[in-house]
Structures are given as structure tokens and as C-alpha cells.
Chains A and B, each alone.
Chain A
Amino acid sequence: MFIKIDKITKKFDEIFCLKNFSMSIKKGEIISIIGPSGSGKSTILKCISGICKIDKGKISINNKRVDNLPVNKRNISYVFQESPLFPHLNVKKNILFNLKKYDKEKLFFLLKKTKIENIQNKYPYQISGGENQRVALVRSLIRNPDLFLLDEPFNNLDNSNKNQLKKIIIDIIKETNTTTIFVNHETQDSLEISDKILILINGEKKTIDTPFNIYNKPKSLKIAKMFGEVNELLIDNKKVYFRIQNLIITRKSSIKGRVIESKFMGHFYKITVRVDTQFVNLLSKKNIKKNEIIYLKVIKDNQLHF
């Protein structure tokens, strides 16, 4: 394993932020850490980078222990939530900050890829929020870090900027084969860009798996609900769990319900149906009138089992 985090513990004022947290990452892998606010996501990054000192445990990169090294000796790049640029330096000087030698070809590649080659002489107050994040990204990656840490980098970006940046990040990380840990609260982003997703709750690792498995075979209802709506339905005295897209309308079925509400969501309508005393949601391309009686079917293969 390229990165090995072994049973690290971090307490703030006698309260555990991380408790015996372990994780291993292969070279070039992208790991997303997902969890509710205050679960310790950013603390993990701070401990790995050295900004926060761990109370117990070991952190190794390429079989070399780094937890006893100061921040500036770890060769880890960190892009913060609102990754600030140094306001007294222009874009180019920000990127090359504290670098004695750098790969000119790589710089050219990164500038071109992030489309910021024309703003090199501008100051942070002269560029947009999206450009700011791209400069921070280039500044981190030009250093050839062993590990790249991203802490909610899409915060405060509009959708268009966010989608652009997301694509740029994946392309660059894959092309440069940079090992990355990505902290995010938007689960959709994590599903899109990660090789693996780690679920963190109250400073403890709940699970780590591929995006496909986390979405389709979650280990608990709580985890399932983090990645989208889940219907619960009692069928033949047995509680069945499934995602709302796996409930479909059919001509004849034992599950009969009355439409309570229909909401237009853009690509589809979200229909709320009352089945006996239970409520379920489903997605439909067509609008269905309120009070209409419909028959429903659960796609069996896609049921969730906990």
C-alpha cells in the first residue's frame, strides 16, 4: 500500500475527533471521505498533512513514517475549503511560491489544462472564485506531491464552475497518477470522481468500498440514505428497502396505491404514493393526476439488504 494510516487517534478537549482510524490507499487512487458535519472529515486531512498532531497511531507514505515530520517536510499538498491565494502575490508567484526548481513542461500542462494561462500576471483580487480554485489546484500539483488532499474544493462555486473544475481535477489526477484524498459533503460528486468512498461517522470509519457498492449495496440504512432517497415498504409482512428509481408502475400487481402528490423535477416527475398506510416515492416520465390509483412493482434484483 502506498499510504498507510494505522489506528490514529485525535482528541480535542478530551473529546474524540478520530478514534483508532485506519485506512490504506494504493498509488494513484482517489478516495472520497463522506460524513455528516463534525464527523472528523477535515480533521483526518489535517492530521495526515501535519497541521494537527495526532495523539496516537502511525501514518506512512511509501513505507516511510511521516507522522513525526513537520508539515513542510511531508510532501503533501493540501487544497483547503476556501483555498486562499496569497493576496500580495500574482497568480504565477502564487503557483511557484517557495519553489526553487520546477518542471516547466508540467507547469505548462497544468496551466493549459486548468485554462489559467492568461491570468498569470493578475492578482487574487482580480480573478474569479473559480479561477482562484484552479490556481490553488495548480499550486498544489506542480509540487509533485506524494499525496494530494482536497477539502471541499467546490464550496462556494456555482454549478457551471463546479462541473468544469470537477472534470479538470479528475483529468489531471488521473494523468499525473496522483494519490488523492477528497473530503466532500456532496455525495454525487464523490460517486462521480472516486475510486473508493469512505464513510465516516463520529470519527469512526463505518465502511470503505467502491462507489457502485456503496450506492447499491450499502451496509446500513443510514449510509444508504446518505446517497439518495430510500423507500421502505412492508410486503408479505417483510420490510423491503429499495431506491426510488427501482419502484416502477405496472399494469397489474399486488401493490396498489393512490397518488398523493406529483412534483415536476425537470427530467422527471416525483410521485408520492400511498400504499395502505405507507408512503413511497417513485420517478415517472409522465405526470400522474392526484388520487389516481396505480399498481407498483419493486425491481427485485435492486433491493437493498442490511
Chain B
Amino acid sequence: MKNLNGISNLSILSILASILGIIILIPIIFIIYENFASNLEFKQSFLNYFYDTFHLILLTSFFCIIFGIIPAWIITFLKIKYKFFFDLLLVLPLAIPGYVMAFIYSDLLGYGGVIDFFLEKKFNQVISFDVLSINWLSLFLSFSLFPYVYSTARVSFSLIGNTYINLSESLGVNTMSKIFKVIIPLSLSAIVSGLFLVIMEILNEYGAAEYFGIKTFSVGIFKYWWALNDKNSSIFLSFILLIIVLVLIFLNNFFKKNENKIQYHIKSSSIILKKIKNPFSKFFAYVVIGVPIVFGLFVPLLSMTNNVIKNFSKFDFTELSNLIQNSLSISITASFIIVAITLFILIIKRYSNSNLLKFIIKILSAGYAIPGAIIGLSIMLILQQNSFISVLMGTTFLLIYAYVFRFIAVAIFTIDNNLKKQPYEFDKLADSLKLNNLKKFIKINLPLSLNSIIIAFLIVFIDIMKELPLTLILRKSTGKFNTLAIEAYNKAKNEELANSSLYSLTIVLICIIMIIVVNIFLKRKKHVH
């Protein structure tokens, strides 16, 4: 279809989509430019940020592997009662933001906490845990982050199926060797992908690290910008963090590329579940599944609920209602915009096959890995340097723009995966039936993508509901717009954990409902396929 000047409408749309992609990418381009344009120097104190960040990453990853992989193996390969519920319960801790988890456990285990109080009262023992340390924070964060490793490992284990298990057994392999020689190597890329997400979340973590006094890069960026008014150091730290993230993305892609060749050869087959005969082993299996569920879900939920019930009469429910309204409206609006932009860009890429658009989408896909602090900082820098657009400071528009950059990758991943599964023959068939691109989209690609669009919307929604550092930076300048996440963080920071619990519990309950809905849609998707 051509317009009056002979340029096809698809070309115009492709240029439009590319421009849109570039606009979304501006913050990242700017931070790189600023790093080279400013006179930046490396300070000795930056080494502490390296040390603390890597210490936190290593320990949290270790705990996530333990809490994620072993339950995934048990649920996939062994006959377990109430498997469906365990499977769901092991994903639900994702609904609890890392900073909320850390606040709750520091409250429970710290000086004057429930455990301390109980031990003192019952046994007249004073055992104080110094929970405000990297080691404890790693454990607390892993309670909320292990589902990333669990879900990727679970999918990968299911794909291995029975063929390789039977084969390795017939080649004389015992259970332990089977895990280390077959199951783990075949799932390595999935486990690495899960760990990659965990690491990205740790790099993005601000609230918990700041509360625990841990010097992560995100904390450093905030500190130099707001507390020390040292803009250059803040930019430098952002740049280093960006380089680390890019290296991690490269490593993850390298693993994936190699593993794609391996995955291609894995013929999935149904799994015959093994019965656990020994009662002790059975008990042990339930304990292994139960520990991450209890500590990642039940303890924090009970603790928050207990705090809410105890302080029920003191809460300002008008404020809560306003915050819910704010959080829901911004999350719904931003999720809708993100999904719409994603769909537009991906469909134009599919119809036009534009290489520029493919390249832009590749870079946008890395957006999720870029910590919120970097995005927030670069947007602030852009606004400070241009008086014309500085009026946007503190506006919802700016916040949504930042969310688009940060979370568009989530939507791209979900919707693109679905679009790739739709054969191009459908498009050709539509062309042969003389449907124009709009009708082709409405009648073919849209209905086929509907499930993935809903899933993408829900996942982005959950992420925005929990988001803290980006919102914190962009509303800090004006302080006008508050969300549940910010208020939960502020109250916890001011040692008002009981008050914080109300907001945290609200976030968690909303996210839990959303995760259950996502799970239902995912099951439906499987059924449809």
C-alpha cells in the first residue's frame, strides 16, 4: 500500500517505530555521553561499592540456587502430594519486594524483635543477631528472589523429560550422578538465565541495601547525587554499573547461544514421576520444598498481617486509599502504554522486517537489566541540562517514560516469543486474501497474541507495583507523587515498621493476585498450544 508520494505506509510506520525506540533509549545514550564528556575520576572509595555489590551477588545467588534448584528437581521428578499448590507457592514470594522482605526479617530477628523477645522471655537468654550485615541481607533477599531460579529450572527440568533420565539410568548412573552429570548440565543455560535475573534484581536493589547500610552501586549513585551533591561521582558509578550490566548481558547471551545448540537436540518427553519409598526421604523432600515457602512467603505474610492487626486502629486509611489509587493508576497506565508500544514496534518489525528496528529492539530488550538508579539519574541529568523540558520534572509523564524504558524488555520478551511462534504463512495467507496490514493485525496476529499480551501486561504491572529506586529518584525532586512502595520504604526507614507493613501487605496481596492470574493464563496458553 503506497501513499501519494510513493513511499509505502509500512516504511513510514517503520521509521516511526524506530524513532519511538530511539526516544525510549535516550537515557542510556545520555549517560554514556556524559561519562565521556565530563571530567570523571576514579576514587578509592568506589572499591567498597565493588566489594559489597559482588559479595551480595555471590551469596544471594548461592542461596537462590539452593532454594530454587532442589525444590524444582523434587517437584519435577518425584511424586509429591499437592504438587500444583507447591508449584504455585514456590513462585509467590516474587510478589514480595526484596526491600519488604529485608525490613520484615530485620524486624523479626533484630534487637528487640520477636525472636529476641521470645528467647528472653522463655529462656531468659539474650541472643542478639547482628542482622544488618551483607550475609543476612543475602539470605533475606534470596527468600524473595529464588523463584527466578526455581521457575527457569523447573521449566528446563520438565523439558528434559524422561528420555535422558532413562538413558542415564540404563548407562549405570546413580541418582546423585544423574543430577550432576545430566540434569544440571542440560539445564545450565536456564539456571544461568534465572541467576542473571537474580543478579539484575540485586544490582537494581536500593531500599534494602540502603536500610542495611550496604554499599551497593545503586546506593552509591543515590548517595553521591543527593547526600554528597557530587554529580560526577554519581555518573561515574552509573557508568561502571552499566559496564558490569553489559558484561553480564554478554555472558548471558554467550551461554544462551551455546546452549541453543544443545537445547535443539533435547527431545521433550513426558515424565514418569518416581515414588519416594523411604518415609525419611519423603519427610526430607517436604522439608526442602517447605523451607523456601515458609521463609519466603508464610513468615513475611504472617508478620505483616500481625503488624497490621495489632496497629489497625492507628492506620490512616484515607492515605492508604490514596496510595492504592496512585499505585494502581500509574501501574495500569504505564503497563498499558508499555504493552501498546511493544505491540506496535514488534508488529511493524514483523511486517517490515526492518534491520534498524530489529537492532533497536535488541537494545531495548536489555533495558530490564539497566538498574532503575541509572535510568533515574540519566533522566535527571537530561532535565537539568535543558530548561525547556525541565518542566517535566516530577510529572507522571516522566515517571511513565522511565518505566517504559525499564520494563519494555519484559513485554518484548513475552509478546515476541509468542509472535515468533506464529507461522509467517498466516501473514502470507492474509496477503493473498487481500487483507491490508491493519486488518491482518486485527484479524490474525492480535487474536493469536492476546494471551501473551495479557500476560505481558500483568507481569509489567507487578514489576511497576514493586518498583522503588526509579520512582524514588524521579519523585524525590518534587516529592509530589507517592506510591505504596515509596511509603512502605519511607516508613521502614523511619523505624515505623508496623506502619510500613500495611503498605507492604497491600503491595504483596495485589501482586499475589496478579501472579495467580498470570499462572492461570500461562496454563491456558499451554492448553491452547
Contacts and interface: CB of A to CB of B under 8 A. Distances in A.
B170 A51 contact: yes
Contacts of B169: 50-51, 70-72
Contacts of A84: 163-164, 167, 265-267
Contacts of A51: 166, 169-170
Interface in B238-270: 261-267
A164 to B, nearest CB: 22
A104 interface: no
Contacts, number: 70
Contacts of A75: 172
B128 interface: no
B171 A125 contact: no
A125 B264 contact: yes
A87 interface: yes
Interface in A82-137: 82-88, 97-98, 123-125
B164 A71 contact: no
B213 interface: no
Contacts of A76: 170
Given A76-B170, A86-B164, A98 B177 contact: yes
A54 B267 CA distance: 26
A125 B264 CA distance: 8
B195 interface: no
A72 B166 CA distance: 10
Given A80-B163, A80-B167, A84-B164, A143 B172 contact: yes
B306 to A, nearest CB: 48
B177 A124 contact: no
Contact of B173 (A72, A80, A85, A139): A72
Contacts of A70: 169
A87 B262 contact: yes
B368 to A, nearest CB: 28
B172 A72 contact: yes
A87 B167 CA distance: 13
A143 B173 CA distance: 13
Interface residues of B, number: 24
B124 interface: no
A82 B267 contact: yes
Among A51, A72, A75, A85, chain B packs the most CB atoms within 10 A around the CB of: A72
Contacts of B185: 86, 88
B171 A97 contact: yes
B387 interface: no
A77 interface: yes
A180 interface: no
Contacts of A124: 265
B357 interface: no
A78 interface: yes
Contacts of A88: 185-186, 188, 262
Given A51-B166, A98-B172, A86 B182 contact: yes
Interface in B134-169: 163-164, 166-169
A281 interface: no
A49 interface: yes
Contacts of B163: 80, 84
Contacts of B188: 88
Contacts of B182: 86
Contacts of A86: 164, 167, 182, 185-186
B181 A98 contact: yes
A139 B164 contact: no
Among A49, A83, A98, A139, chain B packs the most CB atoms within 10 A around the CB of: A98
Contacts of B177: 98
B174 interface: yes
A87 B183 CA distance: 12
Nearest to B186: A88
Given A80-B163, A86-B164, A87-B186, A143 B262 contact: no
Contacts of B261: 87, 123, 125
Interface in B337-391: none
Contact of A98 (B173, B264, B267): B173
A83 B170 CA distance: 12
A139 B171 contact: yes
Contact of B170 (A49, A123, A125): A49
Interface in A34-84: 49-51, 70-73, 75-78, 80, 82-84
Nearest to A52: B272
B266 A87 contact: yes
Nearest to B163: A84
Given A87-B262, A125-B262, A143 B167 contact: no
A70 B163 CA distance: 17
A87 B170 contact: no
B171 A143 contact: yes
B515 to A, nearest CB: 32
Contacts of B164: 84, 86
B197 to A, nearest CB: 22
Contacts of A71: 166, 169-170
Contacts of A49: 170
Contacts of B264: 87, 125
A66 to B, nearest CB: 13
Contacts of B266: 84, 87
Nearest to A82: B267
A86 B263 CA distance: 10
Contacts of A78: 166-167, 170
A261 to B, nearest CB: 39
Contact of B168 (A87, A98, A143): A98
A73 B171 CA distance: 9
A188 B167 CA distance: 28
A77 B168 CA distance: 11
Interface in B254-301: 261-267
B70 to A, nearest CB: 21
A160 B201 CA distance: 54
B157 to A, nearest CB: 15
24 contacts: A51-B169, A71-B166, A71-B169, A71-B170, A75-B172, A77-B171, A78-B166, A78-B167, A84-B163, A84-B265, A86-B164, A86-B167, A86-B182, A87-B261, A87-B266, A97-B168, A98-B172, A98-B177, A98-B181, A123-B261, A125-B261, A125-B265, A139-B171, A143-B171
Given A84-B164, A87-B266, A125-B264, 7 more contacts: A51-B170, A71-B170, A72-B171, A76-B170, A85-B265, A88-B186, A98-B177
The 7 A-B residue pairs with the shortest CB-CB distance, nearest first, are A71-B169, A87-B262, A87-B265, A78-B170, A125-B261, A88-B185, A72-B172
Interface of B: 163-164, 166-174, 177, 181-182, 185-186, 188, 261-267
